[in-house]
């Protein structure tokens, strides 16, 4: 199935959480001189128009990034994220929103590399346009990121952050996440892996989280943002989360500061957050 288009949801509450955490992790990676790779298994279009097209139709960014735009009390995690979004809107407006690949690109250094997978025939063309002229540092493949990940691990520098954020259009994606990670950890046990997931009322979500906690890593971190109570009919996404294997040690404290602020700023009735980590 290739019906999912992230443009409908660009800049929403899930993007705020995912991209703020992504930026924090890459800033941590930059503290060492040794180069690294960022691998995005489901890259999307790379950049999105907020004032026209799909994003303007649903305007989900109005309850996401727009609520942070003019705030002067942003926690450090979110301040850095908003700076990155502002950087691609130099006129001060909210016209463009960077997807995960462009967030990463604007943090990576000259020796770091970006490896992107995308299957959708329209989004792959947009992704290629976004990174036109950057071929030496960016490789883009129209392929299944779950399968393509195998050929990239371990990276030459033995440093990498892997972002896995499928659309979960089909329930098999939950199983594919675990299968891909088991294989990835055998090839590259010290990599940092960030798995995004939607908060939905379906049994596959808690089952996947339990399986993630059983993977053979020394440390993991789990953060989730519920922006409202689940709907009575059981439909719709009421939040999102990130499960991170081998996370930066500084990330937990940054999230402790940022998550209550996000709940108050983006949340409605029943909003809450989860923040937990391994005991090791």
Residues with catalytic function: 165
For residue 117, what is the enclosing H or E element? strand 113-117
What gap in Å lies between CA 238 and CA 227, rounded to an integer?
6
What gap in Å lies between CA 201 and CA 54, rounded to an integer?
25
What gap in Å lies between CA 158 and CA 229, rounded to an integer?
42
Residue 194, strand partner residues: 163, 244
Smallest CA-to-CA distance from 225 within 268, 192, 193, 254 is with 268
What gap in Å lies between CA 280 and CA 264, rounded to an integer?
31
Q: List all residues 6 or more positions away from 52 whose beta carbon is below 8 Å from its beta carbon.
A: none
Parallel, antiparallel or unpaired: strands 239-245 and 220-226: antiparallel
Residue 221 sits at φ, ψ, to 5 deg, of -140, 140
Q: Where are the alpha helices (DSSP H) in the chain?
A: 13-29, 53-58, 76-87, 100-105, 121-130, 145-148, 172-187, 204-213, 251-266
Parallel, antiparallel or unpaired: strands 220-226 and 192-199: unpaired
């Amino acid at each position: 199935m290739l019906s999912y288009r992230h443009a409908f949801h660009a800049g929403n509450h899930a993007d705020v959480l995912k991209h703020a955490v992504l930026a924090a992790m890459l800033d941590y990676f930059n503290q060492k001189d040794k180069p690294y790779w960022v691998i995005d298994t489901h890259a999307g279009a790379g950049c999105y128009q907020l004032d026209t097209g799909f994003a303007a139709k649903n305007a989900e960014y109005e309850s996401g990034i727009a609520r942070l735009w003019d705030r002067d009390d942003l926690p450090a995690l979110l301040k850095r994220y908003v700076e990155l979004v502002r950087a691609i809107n130099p006129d001060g407006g909210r016209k463009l929103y960077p997807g995960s690949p462009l967030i990463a690109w604007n943090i990576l250094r000259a020796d770091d590399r970006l490896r992107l997978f995308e299957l959708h025939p329209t989004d792959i063309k947009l992704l290629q346009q976004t990174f036109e002229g950057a071929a030496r540092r960016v490789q883009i493949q129209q392929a299944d990121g779950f399968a393509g990940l195998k050929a990239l691990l371990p990276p030459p520098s033995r440093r990498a952050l892997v972002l896995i954020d499928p659309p979960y259009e089909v329930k098999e994606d939950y199983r594919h996440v675990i299968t891909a990670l088991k294989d990835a950890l055998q090839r590259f046990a010290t990599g940092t892996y960030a798995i995004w997931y939607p908060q939905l009322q379906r049994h596959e979500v808690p089952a996947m989280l339990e399986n993630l906690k059983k993977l053979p890593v020394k440390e993991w971190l789990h953060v989730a943002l519920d922006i409202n109570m689940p709907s009575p009919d059981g439909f719709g996404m009421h939040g999102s989360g990130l499960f991170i294997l081998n996370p930066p040690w500084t990330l937990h404290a940054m999230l402790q500061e940022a998550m209550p602020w996000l709940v108050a700023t983006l949340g409605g009735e029943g909003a809450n957050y989860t923040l937990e980590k391994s005991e090791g």
